[in-house]
Structure 1
Amino acid sequence: MDRAAPHSVTIRLAESSDRDAWIRLRDALWPGTPDDHRSEVDAFLSRPSPRDACFLAVAPDGAVIGFAEARLREYADGCVTSPVGYLEGIWVEPDHRRTRVGEALVAAVEGWARSRGCTEMASDRALDNEASGRFHEAAGFEEVERAVLYRKTLDPGALD
């Protein structure tokens, strides 16, 4: 599934030969967990699932300049249908932002979700990532909820 994007950028599904570029972009979006990125990308490439997709934005010179990962979820906050197409993550290299590459990646994810019977899309962002909020709203998403999540480490020696 190739789609023409602005400035001759091509949007296509990730392939095995894209492994290193995809990991590099994941590291940029979600820093601090490179081992997880390698194992998750390898798992995706070795055992593709119809419930997951990764679209890449490829410049005319072959450089991978952005990605969008998507998943089918049974439920998403604010949605009333199932399954829901979920934009798990999206990243465009800073030099290529504001050129509609992100918009083209979202459009590819939307088409993928529609082809799997979805009538709704969902996504999320960190509360303090206002740039992501502006991007999501410009891409047609509407905010449905805000949350602060908590975790606590349990002491394995403290049994009831």
Structure 2
Amino acid sequence: MDIRIAQSADLDAWADLRLALWPWNEREDLLQGSRVMLDNAHEVAFIAWQDDQPIGLIEGQIRRGDDAQLYGHVEGWYVVDAARGKGVGGKLMDALSQWFLHHHIRTLFSDTIPDYPLSPAAHRAAGFEEVDRIIIFRKRLDTDTNR
């Protein structure tokens, strides 16, 4: 297995992995997002390859907190079904962690949603600790309702 930073030559494979992770998006939008990432020094993507086939992806971004401290954030993390349980996700997380350390970032955050039931266990296996949970409410406003 080979893990390397995504390059412009990897755009098609990268977009396919992103689409597998976020299937409700349009492929062209995900492809454009990848192009934007290539031009941003505060964002990175790593792709795992096995026999010249893409088998995993991790994306990260340097962010600034309310206290002006910089931190790393995992934006997306995905391993194809056939490669799960073989350490690919952990190796991707290690590559991203090293990239953040190289940029003097010592804290890494990530989040997940219930659509990804395997994600909490994968995060714990990668050394993350759960620090918070939120509940998001929505109210649709209708012009006919005066409450």
TM-score by length of 1: 0.81
Instruction: Give the secondary-structure state (helix, strand or coil) at the position aligned to 1:130.
Output: coil
Residue identity opposite 1:52 in structure 2: E
Aligned to 1:62: 52
Structure 1 segment 86-101 matched on structure 2, within 5 A: 86-101=73-88
Unaligned runs of 5+ in 2: 143-147
Q: CA RMSD in A?
A: 2.1
Percent of aligned pairs with the same amino acid: 35
Partner of residue 138 from structure 1, selected from 110, 115, 125:
125
Query: 1:148 and 1:31 mapped to 2: Cα distance?
Result: 23
Query: 1:146 and 1:133 mapped to 2: Cα distance?
Result: 12
Query: 2:129 and 2:25 mapped to 1: Cα distance?
Result: 29
Question: Aligned residue pairs: how many?
Answer: 142
Query: 2:63 and 2:75 mapped to 1: Cα distance?
Result: 10
Instruction: Give the secondary-structure state (helix, strand or coil) at the position aligned to 1:147.
Output: coil
Query: 2:80 and 2:123 mapped to 1: Cα distance?
Result: 17
Corresponding position: 1:39 with 2:32: yes
Question: Contact 1:86/1:123 (CA < 8 Å) preserved in 2?
Answer: yes
Instruction: Give the secondary-structure state (helix, strand or coil) at the position aligned to 1:119.
Output: coil
Please report how far the alpha carbon of residue 127 of structure 1 lies from its aligned counterpart in structure 2 after TM superposition.
Answer: 3.7
Unaligned runs of 5+ in 1: 1-8, 156-160
Partner of residue 64 from structure 2, selected from 34, 54, 74:
74
TM-score by length of 2: 0.87
Question: Contact 1:67/1:91 (CA < 8 Å) preserved in 2?
Answer: yes
Please report how far the alpha carbon of residue 17 of structure 1 lies from its aligned counterpart in structure 2 after TM superposition.
Answer: 1.1
Query: 1:17 and 1:85 mapped to 2: Cα distance?
Result: 25
Query: 2:108 and 2:78 mapped to 1: Cα distance?
Result: 18
Change in CA separation of 1:152 and 1:36 when aligned onto 2, cut-off 3 Å: farther
Query: 1:12 and 1:92 mapped to 2: Cα distance?
Result: 15
Please report how far the alpha carbon of residue 41 of structure 1 lies from its aligned counterpart in structure 2 after TM superposition.
Answer: 1.4
Query: 2:123 and 2:18 mapped to 1: Cα distance?
Result: 18
Corresponding position: 1:19 with 2:18: no
Larger CA deviation: 100-109 vs 67-76 = 67-76
